Amino acid sequence: MTRVRRPVSEYGRRQTILSRSLARDIVSRAMKPGLFLFAMGVAFAQSPPPEPHEAHEGPGAFEAEFVASDIFRSATYLQPLWRRLKFEGEYFGGTETDVGFTGASWTFAVRDLKLSPACGVLFGSNRFATTPAVSFRWEYEHAWFVTQGLIVQGFRETPVFREEESEPASFVRPTISDGNHLSARWRRLTVGGTWEYIHFREGDEWKGGGRLAVRLFSRVSAILYVFGPGRAEWRGGILIHPSKD
């Protein structure tokens, strides 16, 4: 059966033209925001990426180290407080005198180099004179090369006693440099040379030797020192550090 096409009236033709015009207007208006967003996306993609923001350390990103031998003990605790501000606690113990340092540091970072000056108080036992003190800590790590170190300097003089004497033999301004090393890192191992300087007892005491750290977990390593000269002094302990994953 053949359908007979009816002629379109003038009114119908006008309605068709109006409908098409209205549809084009609606599509045009709808596409304008899309074109705008598309243009913005293209511009954003072609612009250089923003510089990455520094990841601030949270309270859980603390660092700690404890090592000991039969004649010496040392401990370190670093607690992030706010941005690059940290609380620092240090302990150095010998056969006769225990010395501690507490203070606050601010870290300046230049690429792979971190410098952390601090102000605080140095105190101890065996009539050690409590004194204002400053410390300076450095850390540099690039590829396989690692170096770290610490210097603590007191301002007041403290008495130095000889064995079995009650009167001080002399007075010194205490200086302690501990945990210094130049090392190479390979996978879980970090091996290198180490040195320290102790100046709150009679005479100046320099020691040097080797350092070995073995990463056990992401944030935990076992650490071993051997110092000379003279009788070899072995120190072992544990190190909690930022994640190495």
User: CA–CA separation, 76 vs 61, rounded Å?
Assistant: 14
User: CA–CA separation, 214 vs 239, rounded Å?
Assistant: 9
Tell me if 183 sits within 8 A of 224, measured CB to CB: no
Question: How buried is residue 103: exposed, middle or buried, by Cβ count under 10 Å (0-12/13-18/19+)?
Answer: buried
Average pLDDT of the chain to the nearest whole number = 82
Note the CATH architecture for domain 63-240: Beta Barrel (2.40)
Taking the alpha carbons of 198, 202, 204, 209 in that order, is the dihedral positive or negative? Answer: negative
Q: How many CB atoms lie within 10 A of CB 239?
A: 21
Tell me if 93 sits within 8 A of 72, measured CB to CB: yes
pTM: 0.74
pLDDT band, residue 16 (cuts 50/70/90): low
Out of 65-74, 140-149, 174-183, 203-212, least confident range? 203-212
Out of 24-38, 108-122, 131-145, least confident range? 24-38
Task: Please say if the pLDDT value at position 23 is more than 70.
Answer: no
**Higher per-residue pLDDT: 92 or 49:** 92
pLDDT band, residue 94 (cuts 50/70/90): confident
User: CA–CA separation, 196 vs 9, rounded Å?
Assistant: 104
